[in-house]
């Protein structure tokens, strides 16, 4: 599956807080490079078991990515675009 094919319903098997986090940011997740998305989803899926400072860090990382324009995001994650999956 490619990132742009993601739907909020696909996170139904995630723990409650992780599901809410992923489903609420599905539009961001759809725009991420396929070389980066699995790494981020791996962090999101264990969100419920992270310590509060770890959750805050992930929340800030997601907020930062959301605050960037698509072009800025593309530049930030350009190295991941080059990865072949």
Identify whether 2 is part of a domain: no
Identify whether 1 is part of a domain: no
- Averaged pLDDT of the chain: 96
Identify whether 69 is part of a domain: yes
Identify whether 43 is part of a domain: yes
Identify whether 55 is part of a domain: yes
C-alpha distances out from residue 70 to 11, 31, 64, 77, 78, Å: 24, 8, 12, 10, 12
pLDDT band with cut points at 50, 70 and 90 for residue 3: very high
Q: Is the pLDDT of residue 40 over 80?
A: yes
- Model confidence pLDDT, tens digit, residues 46-67: 999 999 999 999 999 999 999 9
pLDDT band with cut points at 50, 70 and 90 for residue 84: confident
C-alpha distances out from residue 68 to 9, 45, 64, 71, Å: 25, 23, 7, 8
pLDDT band with cut points at 50, 70 and 90 for residue 42: very high
Structural domain that includes position 77: 7-81
pTM: 0.91
Q: How many domains does the chain have?
A: 1
């Amino acid at each position: 599956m490619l990132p742009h094919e993601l739907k909020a319903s696909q996170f139904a098997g995630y723990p409650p807080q992780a599901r809410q986090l992923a489903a609420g940011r599905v539009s961001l997740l759809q725009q991420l490079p396929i070389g980066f998305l699995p790494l981020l989803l791996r962090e999101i899926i264990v969100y419920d078991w992270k310590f509060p400072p770890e959750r805050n860090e992930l929340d800030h990382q997601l907020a930062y990515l959301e605050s960037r324009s698509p072009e800025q995001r593309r530049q930030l994650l350009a190295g991941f675009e080059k990865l072949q999956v």
